[in-house]
Amino acid sequence: MTASFENLRRLSGLLAPSGEAASTGGRPPARFAFNPQARVAVGVDLGATHGNVALTDLHGRVLSEAAERVDITAGPVVVLDRVAATIGRLLDAAGRGAGDLAGIGIGVPGPVEHSSGRPRRPPIMPGWDGFDVPGHVRRHWDVPVLVDNDVNIMALGEHVTAHPGLDHLLFVKVATGIGAGIISGRRLLRGAVGAAGDLGHVAAPHAPDVLCACGNTGCLEAVAGGRAIIRQLTAAGVPAATNSDIVALVHGGNLVVAQALRQAGRTIGEVVATCVSLLNPELVVIGGSLAGAGESLVAGVREVVYGRSLPLATGHLQIVTATSGFQAGVIGAATMVVQHTLAAERVDRELANSG
């Protein structure tokens, strides 16, 4: 055991000396402790118009970060090359080199086959379908590159930062699109090919025949997402062009906008109620840009979920607004890397290779 500890310490620095234990005779035994500064991880959160990049230690603590406007429709080469350059600047600013980098986690705003890291028919990401995201990023940084959809990494980030003691959590992102991240038994559930949690393209009960970006009609995203709310407000004569406009109008006391958000929350709640009955989470977290409007949206979700799901599932269920904000995505993406780096089988393999 002592030799294994020494191998791991020498190989990667993941263990560091931490004083000596009390002696029971002979030489005092040495203590070792996990060293979160041994490596750094990068978390990248890409949206339709934003690109957030953060450098973290192995505890997920953000060391430095950068936020830039990006256009996801510019294509993967343009966007990923820009991300790679930003990673270099963050490493330089932190005084860390490429050898300190444990890996890069990336969240993108569309469906991803997690095993390969390739987006699959993402509706708002032209040119990204089937693109080898890990392979391209490794041309710049030869480290493990893990890719997932943006909602999954937000769920991871919210879980580790705000609710680390919970075993079962459902994270629902409400923005231009709608999606869900599922934490069950403290693990992120991705499904067979990474498509779990695609809540926005579930048919909403009693929904009008509105065409969705996916090609179907009546999807939850098409009737209760940001674009749908903006259409409703425009028809009512309320000037709102973006999700930020919606949030600002609610904070400014506009009752028409608050009522539209409350109704969107009710529609979302009809689908979430099914998820609660199916998954039995301890907590439902509502995140995304429209969650910043406060209680209007969440109140609508609560109203329907508590009314439709069985008391056994809702007796101790809380439905709350996300607290980790814009950092949820980058922290979740970095957490994905940390979990990969510290997985028991990976550490065992490093020890075996060092022997």
Q: Do 104 and 141 contact (CB within 8 A), yes or no?
A: yes
Q: pLDDT tens across 123-162, in order?
A: 889 999 999 999 999 999 999 999 999 999 999 999 999 9
The structure tokens listed for 12 are 């990667």
Residue 296 near residue 261, CB atoms below 8 Å: yes
Cα gap 144→102, rounded to integer Å: 7
Give domain limits for the chain: 40-143+328-354, 164-323
Q: CB neighbours (10 Å) of residue 65?
A: 17
pLDDT digits (tens, 9 = 90+) for 67-118: 988 999 999 999 999 999 999 999 999 999 998 999 999 999 989 999 999 9
Distance between CA atoms of residues 265 and 209, nearest Å: 19
Q: What's the angle, vertex CA 62, arms to CA 60 and CA 67, rounded to 5?
A: 125
- The CATH number of the structural domain formed by 164-323 is 3.30.420.40
Q: Tell me if 40-143+328-354 shares its fold with 164-323.
A: yes
Class of the CATH-defined domain 40-143+328-354: alpha beta
* Residue 85 CB neighbours (<10 A): 11
Evaluate if pTM is beyond 0.75. Answer: yes
In sequence order, the β-bridge partners of residue 174 are 178
